[in-house]
Each structure stands twice: as structure tokens, then as C-alpha cells.
Amino acid sequence: MIEETLRTEFEALKNDFETIRQQIESDVVRTEWYKGEFYELTPYSYQRNGFRQGKTVKRPDTVKSTKNLCIYGFNNQNQIVEVKVGCSIENQFYHTFLYYTDNLVKSILYDNGKHLMNVCHHFFESGKLKQLQLCGSHGSREENYIYKENALTHIEIKQYDIDGKSSSDLVHIFQYQDDGDLESITKSFSNGYSEIIYKTKKKVANKRINHKVGYPPDIIDLKNKMIIKIKDINSNITFELLVESNILINDLHKCIRKVHNQYLGNNGIDVIRINGSLHILLYFVSLDKYVEMNYGNKPLNFIIDEYNHNQWRKETFNFLSFEHFNSTEDYAKELYTGYDCSFVEMGKDGWYEIYELCNVPNEKAREWKIEYLEKKVDNKQQTD
């Protein structure tokens, strides 16, 4: 459980950005510039989060964009005390400030608007990270690092919502090759779902590869696979697909269409939802047009991770549902009546633009509304 003192510290630091920045930057004696994050406090952070280590910026004066630019500030003890990471807005940065005391490293993260994002305590023992406690604006997290001799075997992660209630637990499990190099990382959830989030690519004989500090050798590229459950709503069957875990959601849709055992035709709409409820993709067949909902055309593993870490959502990812509507009108009718035939309510949730793509004649919408209201009256009379 997250210590109450950490929560108190988080509240106390909310308005201290400028004071901390001035104090920290007065201690900076040199900087290093990279495109992408380079140094890490937690083991295998690149592999666990699915990104590559940053590359050195040899000439800062040639940088064309500050997006994803990382500037590390070092003190006179060669410790990193400030990390500036460029966001999507040019010349604006997220700031992380670091403090070192005995076996504790404390980090404080502010966004580009100087709002406090989180305070994190890293506890070390004999040079190895043993525990991480984080308190943030959307909840908190605790990570316990378990070792066998010098090898990290697993990380137990407990997550809490903004009220301190347990939201979801997971474990990262590490497997190693015979020579001690990292083989794979598996993410396992409490509901039994698991996926390989990192797997080492096979070694290439007689090829020397340069690796930066903190990046295990013989890792060339991220080639992950996962088995995903697909529930076919139309046929009422569930099947499994073996796909790259970082497959884009649009490409996943194409894979589902290829293995679908029915002819879907050249019209209508395909709908993909998480757990049968949350829309993530619409495909207008005749228009050959994708509309990505909630997450955009992002990699599947990213979407699952975002879904599982939403503090307001109690359930975790279980399956994707696939449903085909034979015509755009069929889908438009379900959408329209689902909002009590109110374009205003539909617009509030951002669905009116989707409805317009269905190109429904006004006369047809009026027919649906009359039919819906008549049915609603009938149902009320029956219950009375």
C-alpha cells in the first residue's frame, strides 16, 4: 500500500514547480541531448514499455523539432538531476527533477503546463532497485522487484485509484537465455490474461552490434506476438488469431476479414469493440473508410495497455468483438435509437459525425423516430 507520507508529499509539491526548477538548475553543470529517452532508473524499461533507446544529438544547434527531445542535466557528482522531455507542442517540455539520499532516489514529474503529474520513490538495496512507490494525479502504483541472485525474475505491480482502492494487479515475468541475456518479458494480469510484451530476436552470427548503456546485448528489434480472442457477433462464435502484438488496429481488421468464414459483401459497416462494448474501430465498406474510436489507429498492445490502466474501468481487456452490419442504415438506426432519436445527445458524445457518414435520408430518420416512439408508448402501457 502507498504510504500516506507520499500522498502528503504529492499534495505539498503541486505549486512548487518554479522553486524546484530554479534550485535544481542552479546545480546543473553539464547537459546531454538525445532524441528519445536514453537513461533509465528501472530495469528493462525500454523493453517493458515497447520503445527504443534514444540517440545522441551531437549538435544541439541543428535540432529541427523539440518533440521527443530529451535533455539530461547533471550535477557536479555526475548525477542526473533534471530531465526535460519535449512534448508535441514546440519548445514545451515535461520536467522531471531527481533527488538522491542514501538508498532512495526521488523523482518529481511536472507536465508542460507546470502541473504536478506524479512523485515517485525508488528504493535501492545493494545497488539493485527493490521497490517503487508512485503517487500521481490519477492514482498510485507500487512495484516490487524480485531477484534470484543477480537476475530480475519478476515485478509485482499493484495499482490504486484516486481514492486509494485497489484497481488492478499485474506481474512482469522475465525469462533469460542460457548465457544470461534477456529472452522475454511476459505481462500477466490477475484475470488470467497474459501476453508476451518483449521477445529477444535471434542472434545474428558474425555480426557485431553496438548497444548503449542500459540496453542488454543481442537485442535488435521488437518482434512480439500474442493470441487475441475474437468474438464474432453475427455467427455467435469465438476464434483466436495469432498476431504481432504491435499490429495497428486497421491491419488487425484486415486480418479478421481474411479469416472470417462468411462473405461480408461490399456494403455496410464492420464494428470492432473491446469486450463487446467499447468501440475502437468502424469500417465503412463501400467507402473503404476507417474511423478509429477512442484510441486512434494505434498498436494493439498499446490499446490494451491503455484500456487496462484506465482508473475508472474495473474490468480488464478480455476479447475483441467483430460485428458486420449489412447496410449503413442498419447501423445508423441502432445508433439513432440508442440515443432516443436525439441528434443533440448523439452530438454530445461525438457520434453525430459518424451518423452523417451513413448518409441516411431525413424521411427514413423520421420513420425510425415514429416507430421508436410508438414502441416506447406500447411498452409503457404494458408495464402500467
Asked if residues 41 and 35 have their Cβ atoms less than 8 Å apart, the reply is no
Cα separation, 234 vs 257, in Å, equals 13
Q: What is the pLDDT of residue 224?
A: 63
In the numeric block, the cell 544541439 is attached to 60
Q: How far is CA 324 from CA 300, 354, 364, in A?
A: 20, 16, 21
The overall pTM is greater than 0.75: no
Q: How far is CA 280 from CA 219, 268, 306, 324, 345, in A?
A: 32, 17, 12, 14, 20
In the numeric block, the cell 461480408 is attached to 264
Q: What is the pLDDT of residue 1?
A: 52
Q: What is the pLDDT of residue 116?
A: 93
The DSSP bridge partners found for residue 97 are 82, 108
Per-residue pLDDT 10s for the chain (384 aa) are 556 889 899 999 999 999 999 999 999 999 999 998 899 888 998 888 777 788 999 898 888 889 889 999 999 999 999 999 998 888 899 999 999 998 999 999 999 889 999 999 999 998 899 999 999 887 888 999 999 988 999 999 998 877 778 777 889 999 999 888 899 999 887 777 778 888 887 654 444 333 333 323 322 233 467 788 888 887 777 777 778 888 899 999 988 887 654 556 678 899 999 988 889 999 998 889 999 988 888 898 889 888 888 767 767 888 899 988 888 998 999 889 888 898 888 888 888 989 999 999 999 999 999 988 888 777 666 655
Cell of 200: 529477444
Cα separation, 354 vs 15, in Å, equals 42
Q: What is the pLDDT of residue 307?
A: 86
Q: What is the pLDDT of residue 210?
A: 38
Cα separation, 87 vs 318, in Å, equals 32
Q: What is the pLDDT of residue 218?
A: 29
Asked if residues 135 and 119 have their Cβ atoms less than 8 Å apart, the reply is yes
Asked if residues 217 and 210 have their Cβ atoms less than 8 Å apart, the reply is no
Q: pLDDT tens across 143-186, in order?
A: 999 999 889 999 999 988 777 787 778 899 999 998 888 999 99
In the numeric block, the cell 545493494 is attached to 126
Cα separation, 351 vs 339, in Å, equals 10
Asked if residues 33 and 69 have their Cβ atoms less than 8 Å apart, the reply is yes
For residue 115, the Cα-to-chain-centroid distance in whole angstroms is 21
Question: Mind giving me the DSSP string for 195-208?
Answer: EEEEEPPPPPTT--
Beta strands in 253-349 (DSSP E): 269-274, 278-284, 289-292, 320-325
- Whats the size of the chain, residue-wise? 384
The H or E element that residue 9 is part of is: helix 4-12
Q: What is the pLDDT of residue 209?
A: 35
Give the number of C-alpha atoms closer than 13 A to the C-alpha of residue 383, restricted to the C-beta side. 6
Q: What is the pLDDT of residue 317?
A: 87
Asked if residues 85 and 94 have their Cβ atoms less than 8 Å apart, the reply is yes
Beta strands in the chain (DSSP E): 30-35, 55-56, 69-74, 80-86, 93-101, 104-110, 116-125, 128-136, 139-148, 151-160, 166-176, 182-189, 194-199, 225-232, 237-244, 269-274, 278-284, 289-292, 320-325
In terms of Cβ atoms closer than 10 Å to its own Cβ (0-12, 13-18, 19+), residue 317 is buried
Q: What is the pLDDT of residue 260?
A: 59
Helix, coil or strand: residue 73: strand
